[in-house]
Structure 1
Amino acid sequence: MKQLEDRIKTDGTTLGAGVLKVDAFLNHQVDPELMDGMAKEWKHRLGDAPVTKIVTLESSGIAPALMLAKHYGVDMVFARKQKSITMDDSVYTAEVYSFTKQVSRTITISKSFLHADDHIVIVDDFLANGEAAVGLCQVVEQAGATVTAIAIVIEKSFQPGRNKLTEQHYRVESLARIASLDKDNIQFIQQ
């Protein structure tokens, strides 16, 4: 998606070691017009695929996921990285390792929000090693629901995440695919 790629070039910052900082428009300060454009693009790409719910992981996936849910007219559910004291034990869980934070966490979604007849689009801000997406797929599948697609804002194509997901036959729709990333240059894969 050219609008997103342009924004990454303008406002993204490379921090070395494959790390891209996009807090100016995605995961600290959020550009609602960009989120709207991304949701429209995902919906266009998914065409007539069935969608009954959008699922993401707190917190950076919430803004794009909520906008996509609005475009579909469905609810959005976010997996919690920490179990809330208000949440009972009736939850789906998965273990997820965070590349950015270098820590493993158990993510949870209440069983009352996912059902066997749901068709889910999973939204995540980044795809690197695929750990978060795989964990979200596990949670969705514990409910007996179907993963319609995995919608990614920024994919680091030089890392194994896409292959991990496509080998498990998941549909991956990434809006910006980065071929290489270094201190002075970001190269995109043209889609």
Structure 2
Amino acid sequence: MSMRSEHDATGLGVITRFELLATCEIALRSRNSFELRLMPQFSYGELLERCRTIAESIAQASPNFSLALAVAADAAGRQQDWHSMNRFLVASQKSGPNEQVIGRYRFRVAEENLTQLTPAAKHSYESDLRLQVVSKKSTPYIARRYASDEAFRERVAAVLSEMDHADIQRFIRTLRSMLPRAPQ
């Protein structure tokens, strides 16, 4: 059972807030989804604004709720509110620096808006990229992208240069396993 916190202005319990934010995360990246097309009473813009309002109100009530900050960053980025997006990305990374699932979300938001990142948000992005490079779940994606995207390769190489030898070797093994083998 989810208990309401007396300090939470949303009136929702922790589990309910998490589920609502997770639903918003999915909805924000599903602009052209079949489900959204079946609900003509909702426009994507309205959904975007609603999710941003929810995320910001949860973040205001719980300033260390990293997922709320990440959802707020995503919504702000989709609305091209770069100042807020950067602020929320940095705050989310500071409040949840080792949360891999949320780090993967922040990483995606930052990648989609790379040219809009402030120096502080770029530093947070690099921390999330480092987290993804050492994540067993994310390393294959990072390695595939590393092999196919030269600009991304440069960003990964910069992060790898600061990592310990074991993490670098694991990344290289993953990368090699994903590259096509030359005929002999």
Please give the TM-score of this superposition, normalised by the length of structure 2.
Answer: 0.28
Greater RCO structure (CA 8 Å; 6+ sep): 1
Give the number of the structure whose residues are more often strand, by fraction: 1
Give the number of the structure whose residues are more often helix, by fraction: 2
